[in-house]
Amino acid sequence: MQKKKDYNYIYYFIQFVLVGLLIMFICTYFADVQATEVFRESKANILNCIYCLLFSFLPFILKRWNIHSTKTLQVYFLLAIIVHFILGGTLHYYRDVWFFSFIVHLINSFLIATIIYGILLRHCKNQSKFFMFMATVAFTALVGVLWEVCEYAIDGMSGSNMQRFNNSVTNEPFIGRVALKDTMIDLMMDTLGGLLAGLYFAFTNIKGVPLYKFLELKYVKADTNISYQEDIVDNQKLQNAKAEKKALKLEEKNNKRKSKIEKKQYNRLYKQEKNKTKKQQKLSKKQDKTTKKLDKQTKSNKNSKSVDSTNHEQDKT
């Protein structure tokens, strides 16, 4: 539970920073501050901050329709919006940093692939990992294509330069492959983000727990009083499984200790019996030797008596 609270604090802190930026841009707009290039377009900066704040409330709005997302996914979503509107729009990274658009497409495609993978897992539970990987990549690439189509339509209707077919500084049109460069690299970045997300979620596990659980989007039925009821059941199952594993490990350890103690006791008894048998054998050998000696002595005594008797008889004769 502590981790969820920490993620809440991060989310609220980012929202607080956005509110502070909005107040600062409003103040600079009314005060006519033109110290740097960032403050010259105060209207655009105010709109970008408002867009970010509106999008930041999207997870809470989706909860009203029983669509719940994890705290990690919410923070990731909010950071992606800030990168797009604040860094790209306010600080003009799209114009000044040539590779910034490609990084944004990579980040956003990873986020989209995460949501797609969560939806596929809910409806395609019995499919193989390879199918999940290919479906995630295909749907992410499809979303990228649809976005490029939208950019093309917006450029045609509003005269903007979202597809970078004109030079953003001189407004000179590009010719040939250069005009297609931005669109094609964006599509490649979208596909690469889908590939990375598919590999990350489909082919990696931590202690039997799939990593998509940390970034999953879930639909909870309206008649359920507890949100994430399935997660709670799954967590209970995991905890029970872990407890069973611990109990089995303890039993194995106890059995090993018992077997070691029994082996030691058996070895001691075996050694004692061996020593007893050795002692008995030694005693029996000694007794045999003494009996043999006594037999010899008795035989020698008998022989001496017989000799004496014969000698006595001869003397009489």
Range of 29's domain?
6-97
Q: pTM for the full model?
A: 0.57
- In the three-class reduction of DSSP (H, G, I as helix; E, B as strand; rest coil), residue 68 is classed as strand
| Average confidence score pLDDT of the chain | 76
- Position 14 pLDDT exceeds 90: no
Q: Tell me, yes or no, whether 1 lies in a domain.
A: no
Compare 254 and 226 and report the one with higher pLDDT: 254
Contacts (Cβ under 8 Å, ≥6 apart) of 66: 219, 220, 221, 222
Asked whether 155 and 161 are in contact (CB, 8 A), the reply is yes
Grade residue 141 by pLDDT with cuts at 50, 70 and 90: very high
The mean pLDDT value for 219-241 works out to: 56
pLDDT in tens, 31-44: 665 555 555 566 77
Contacts (Cβ under 8 Å, ≥6 apart) of 247: none
- Position 206 pLDDT exceeds 60: no
How many domains does the chain divide into?
A: 3
Structure tokens at 207: 């202690």
pLDDT of residue 1: 39
- Position 19 pLDDT exceeds 70: yes
Q: Tell me, yes or no, whether 228 lies in a domain.
A: no
42 with 137, same domain: the answer is: no
- Position 227 pLDDT exceeds 50: no
Choosing from 193, 223, 253, the residue where a domain stops is: 223
36 with 149, same domain: the answer is: no
Choosing from 97, 122, 157, the residue where a domain stops is: 97
The mean pLDDT value for 268-296 works out to: 82
Asked whether 110 and 80 are in contact (CB, 8 A), the reply is no
The mean pLDDT value for 13-20 works out to: 82
Could you give the residue ranges of the DSSP H alpha helices within the chain? Answer: 2-31, 42-56, 58-64, 71-82, 93-96, 100-123, 129-158, 177-202, 229-316
- SS3 of 151-187: the string is HHHHHHHHCCCCCCCECCCCCCECCCHHHHHHHHHHH
The mean pLDDT value for 173-191 works out to: 85
| Continuous segment of H or E residues that includes residue 218 | strand 217-219
Which among 243, 245, 220, 222 has a CA at the least distance from the CA of 231? Answer: 220
- Position 67 pLDDT exceeds 60: yes
The mean pLDDT value for 61-65 works out to: 76
154 with 259, same domain: the answer is: no
Any bridge partners for residue 69, and if so which? Answer: 217
Compare 262 and 26 and report the one with higher pLDDT: 262
